A and B are shown apart, each in its own frame.
Chain A
Amino acid sequence: MMNRTRRRIVAAVGLAPFAALTGCAMRRTNVARANVVVVGGGYGGATAARYVALWGGDAVSVTLVERDAAFVSCPLSNLVLGGTKSLADITRSYEPLTRHGVRVVHDTAAAVDVERRRVRLARGGDLPYDRLILSPGIDFFFDRVKGLASEEARALFPHAWQAGPQTAALRRQLEAMRDGGVFAISIPRSPYRCPPGPYERACQVAWYFQRAKPRSKVLILDGNEEVQSKKALFTKAWSEDYKGIVEYRPDCVLTEVDAKARTARFEIADDVKADVLNIIPPHGAGAIARSAGVITVNNQWCEVDFLTFESKKVPRIHVLGDAIQVAPLMPKSGHMANQHGKVAAAAVLAALAGQPPNPEPVLNNTCYSYITDRDAVHVASVHQYDAKQQTYLTVPGSGGLSAAKNAREGDYGLAWAQSIWADMLG
């Protein structure tokens, strides 16, 4: 990626500040490596780990703590619900990351000791860090919906908003459902993970019903006042491709579920009884963010310095992905988390080297949603850092939507997935 001379220069530049930092001599063999620990191997964390290792080289030791044995992608997981992709299609190994210099520890980060700068692992042992990157994804507030916290209710109403066993469970329910049944999806208030995801899911389930259970219905119960993403494109799909199958209801703020009656209750809207009830519960930053004390907004999200993604509350801890309090018009998407990961990786290395971060980071987002098995639509945006407002702002005139669903973008969506998985995992 760079010529040999430049590589030597960068290596030298990288090493000198670390030597100063640790009080060691300049000779490479005597320089202690800086410890960077990354928690969470999703789109944000795996990317950050890979790029810290790539750009930091011998100057850093990178450890990724990941609970699951393999990566399962949330993007494309609605195609598993539609029946045109399998879970295997959207699952990737962490093994390639280890060949890129990342030590992958399959464990759960149980706690962060901010004073001693250590991450405690659930199965025992501590990981010391000079810089900690948390990409914890989301955890659900099951207790904010009456009746949802019990084991029985959680098994009966899978969220499938973390891909894997939840996705498989929801697919099994759809397969077992009678023809003429009702699938209902409950969407929490914004901001939530993946703004277009619930609407894409409605399309995929409707596509499946058209072929397998044509008398069945899809009911979208939105906790918001209108469709949150790609509104015109989804609305068109529901009134044309899935006419008579999909019904959209705004202002359905879920308050209670009744497992026995398979019924959802709302603040104002009428009760809904469904054969398959897919509840996406309200959610916030993953649990480890709470332990680290970096959740600062509404007991839900983590504010960061957008130049570095360092927590506004706790120094030396950077937070990425869906867990953060987003900038205006910044989606909680996998693509965006991948972008966060690179800005954070560069900033972490700059900080370890005693240098200022890149003062002009730029982020882009591209998100494909599948209307049918083959046809997709996109939303795209560019987010430039604004030094005055200390946030990212979308560039006027940039970004936008597809004109209409099309098969070419269906191909691009699949290619995007292959590319970004290679980018984050190697």
Chain B
Amino acid sequence: MRLPRMLLPVGAAVCVACGAPFAAANGDARARDWAAGCLGCHQPAGGTIPRLHGQSRDELAAKFRALRDGRQPGTVMPQLAKGYTDAQIDAIAAWFATAQAR
């Protein structure tokens, strides 16, 4: 499985400056922050608005792209998905794949 594209160079840069643990934490924080933006609607309890927690990274990223590219219909999500970069989609999907409900 490939790593989210943009995390690699950032991780490497921080690694030089601060040491490995900081790099790990920083990379994680960025995905965490982006994923947090989804939680206002997508809570782990799920319901009318589907839960994202625990979906596989590839499955979630594929759904995100299908909404973005007009291959999957919807209401809000096709419009929102168009605002995210590929790197953000991959990072968000990876975060939810390992996320547990708080």
A contact set with B: CB distance below 8 Å: 1-3, 6, 9-10, 12-14, 51, 54-55, 100, 335, 338-339, 342-343, 346, 350, 355, 358, 360-364, 366, 378, 380-384, 394-395, 397-400, 402, 408-409, 411-412, 414-416, 418-420, 422-423
Q: Is B40 an interface residue (CB 8 A)?
A: yes
B25 touches A382 (CB 8 A): no
Which residues of A are found within 8 Å of B56, using beta-carbon distances?
Answer: none
The contact sample of 29 A-B pairs, CB cut-off 8 A, is: A1-B100, A2-B28, A2-B98, A10-B25, A338-B40, A339-B37, A339-B40, A342-B36, A350-B29, A358-B29, A360-B30, A362-B37, A362-B88, A366-B80, A378-B75, A380-B80, A382-B83, A395-B82, A395-B83, A398-B79, A399-B82, A400-B79, A412-B75, A419-B39, A419-B41, A419-B42, A419-B43, A420-B41, A423-B43
Instruction: Report Cα–Cα, A33/B80, bound state, in Å.
Output: 38
Instruction: Report Cα–Cα, A177/B42, bound state, in Å.
Output: 41
In the complex formed, the residue of A with least CB distance to B87 is A360
In the complex formed, the residue of B with least CB distance to A347 is B33
A120 to chain B: closest CB distance in Å?
Answer: 32
Render B43-82 as a binary contact track against A, CB cut-off 8 A, 1 for contact: 1010111000000000000000000000000011001111
Interface residues on B, range: 35 or more
Contacting A411 at CB < 8 Å: which of B22, B36, B48, B79? Answer: B48
A412 touches B49 (CB 8 A): yes
B5 to chain A: closest CB distance in Å?
Answer: 13
Chief secondary structure at chain B's binding surface: loop
B80 touches A6 (CB 8 A): no
Q: Is B99 an interface residue (CB 8 A)?
A: yes
Which residues of A are found within 8 Å of B37, using beta-carbon distances?
Answer: 339, 342, 362-364
Contacting A381 at CB < 8 Å: which of B36, B75, B83? Answer: B83
Contacting A343 at CB < 8 Å: which of B33, B76, B83? Answer: B33
B83 touches A6 (CB 8 A): no
A382 touches B80 (CB 8 A): yes
B49 touches A422 (CB 8 A): no
Contacting A10 at CB < 8 Å: which of B28, B30, B85, B99? Answer: B28
Which residues of B are found within 8 Å of A355, using beta-carbon distances?
Answer: 22, 26
B36 touches A362 (CB 8 A): no
Instruction: Report Cα–Cα, A375/B49, bound state, in Å.
Output: 17
Instruction: Report Cα–Cα, A422/B30, bound state, in Å.
Output: 23
Given the contacts A9-B25, A342-B36, A419-B41, A412 and B48 also touching, CB distance less than 8 Å: yes
Q: Is B102 an interface residue (CB 8 A)?
A: yes
Which residues of A are found within 8 Å of B79, using beta-carbon distances?
Answer: 380-381, 398-400
B21 touches A12 (CB 8 A): yes
A16 to chain B: closest CB distance in Å?
Answer: 9
B86 to chain A: closest CB distance in Å?
Answer: 13
B71 to chain A: closest CB distance in Å?
Answer: 16
A408 to chain B: closest CB distance in Å?
Answer: 7
B4 to chain A: closest CB distance in Å?
Answer: 12
Contacting B41 at CB < 8 Å: which of A6, A100, A366, A411? Answer: A366
B33 touches A1 (CB 8 A): no
Instruction: Report Cα–Cα, A395/B81, bound state, in Å.
Output: 10
Q: Is B12 an interface residue (CB 8 A)?
A: no
Which residues of B are found within 8 Å of A10, using beta-carbon distances?
Answer: 25, 28
